[in-house]
Homo-oligomer: A and B are copies of this chain.
Amino acid sequence: MLELRHLRYFVAVAEELNFSRAADRLHMAQPPLSAAIRQLEQELGTELLLRTTREVRLTEAGSAFLDGARRTLTELDRARSDAQRAAAGEIGQLRIGFSWSARFETLPALGRTFRASHPDVSLLTEEMWNARMLPALRSGAIDLAVALCPEVAGEFSYLLLRSEPVVALLAQSHPLAARGEIELRSLAEEGFLMFPRELAPRLYEFMTGLCRRAGFEPIVRGESFHSGWELQILADVDVVALAPASVARDLPEGLAAVVIADPADQLDTAIVWRKDDPSPANRAFRSAAERAVGEHLLEAR
C-alpha cells in the first residue's frame, strides 16, 4: 500500500539524486531507503529512477511523479494547517441571525471587532424576528443570534451586549416631535403601530408593559411590521411606535425619534448561542463580543 513515507523518501532521493545522501537527510540507513523506493516503483508499476553506481537519474515517470508527490505533500500541509486554524476558530463561517435594530450599531461594531482578529471567518448574516431565532439556533440553521429583547431558554446561553433607552417614533409634524424627551404617558391618546405579537412575544410584552406601567393601555391601530420595520408608514398615517434608540440613527424622511424619559425602561440586545455548540469560531465570536463590550464599542454614540 502506498504511503506518505514513500513520497517523502522519493522526494528526498529525487532531490539528492543519491540514495546514500538522501538516507542521511532522512536520518535512516541506505538499504531500507532503496527498498522503499523499489516498493514505490512496484506499487506504481513503473520505474521512477535510473540508477547506476555512479549516477541516479529521474525517468520521465519519475519526473512527473516528483511534481505530483510534491503537490500531494503540500496539499497535506495545507490540510493540516486548515484543521488547526479551524480548531482555533480562525477559518470557517458563522451564520448569524439578527434583529432589525442590531443593524444600525451593534452588528457593524461586532463585525469590525471580530474581523480584526479573525479575517478568514466569513460572516453570513440574516435578519429575522425573535420567534424564528431560537428554532434556527436549535436546528443549526444559524450559529449565533444577535437579538433585541431575546427570549432565552435553558439550552441556550447569552451575553448582554447593550441596553438602550426606548424612543417613540412619530411624524416630524407631531406636536411632541420637537421635544428631546417625553413621558410615555403623554402618548396615551395616540394610536400605536405594533408588529404581530407572535413575531417577538417578549418584545411585544415589554412594550405593552411599558404603557401599562405608564398608566394606559396602548391603542393598537395597526400591525404592519414585516421584514424590518417599515417605518415610512408612521409618517403617512398618524400613529406612533416604540423602538430602541439606535433605530434613530437611520430614520426615513419626515420621521422623528423622541426618547422616553424613564431611564429604567431599557431595551437589551444580547447574543444567544447553543450551550453545547463546540464551534471554535463561535467561541471566538463570543470572546470578540466580550472584548467589544469591555471596550464600550457597542454603546450608543
Contacts and interface: CB of A to CB of B under 8 A. Distances in A.
B86 A61 contact: yes
Interface residues of A, number: 42
Interface stretch (A71-79, A123-131, A188-196): A71-79
Interface stretch (A174-182, A217-225, A277-285, A292-300): A277-285
A85 B280 CA distance: 44
Given A3-B4, A87-B46, A92 B64 contact: yes
Contacts of A280: 60-61
A65 B46 contact: no
A37 to B, nearest CB: 13
A69 B62 CA distance: 24
A84 interface: yes
A204 B163 CA distance: 99
A83 B87 CA distance: 36
Most B CB atoms within 10 A — which of A78, A80, A89, A279?
A: A80
Contacts of A5: 1, 3
A109 interface: no
Contact of A50 (B46, B48, B80, B278): B278
A143 to B, nearest CB: 10
Contacts of A3: 3-5
Nearest to A45: B84
A44 B82 CA distance: 10
Contacts of A290: none
A60 B89 contact: yes
Given A3-B5, A83-B65, A87-B47, A278 B71 contact: no
Interface in A201-219: none
Nearest to A89: B60
Interface string A256-282: 000000000000000000000011110
Contacts of A71: 75, 78-79
B45 A68 contact: no
Interface of A: 1-5, 7, 44-48, 50, 59-65, 67-69, 71-72, 75-76, 78-80, 82-87, 89, 91-92, 278-281
Which 6 pairs between the two chains have the least Cβ-Cβ distance? A68-B79, A64-B86, A65-B83, A61-B87, A46-B87, A64-B82
21 contacts: A1-B4, A3-B3, A3-B5, A4-B4, A7-B76, A44-B83, A45-B84, A50-B278, A59-B86, A60-B92, A60-B281, A61-B87, A62-B83, A64-B82, A65-B86, A67-B82, A68-B79, A68-B82, A68-B83, A71-B78, A72-B75
Given A64-B79, A72-B72, 17 more contacts: A2-B4, A2-B80, A44-B84, A45-B87, A48-B83, A59-B279, A60-B86, A60-B87, A60-B281, A61-B83, A62-B83, A65-B79, A65-B80, A65-B83, A68-B75, A68-B76, A71-B75
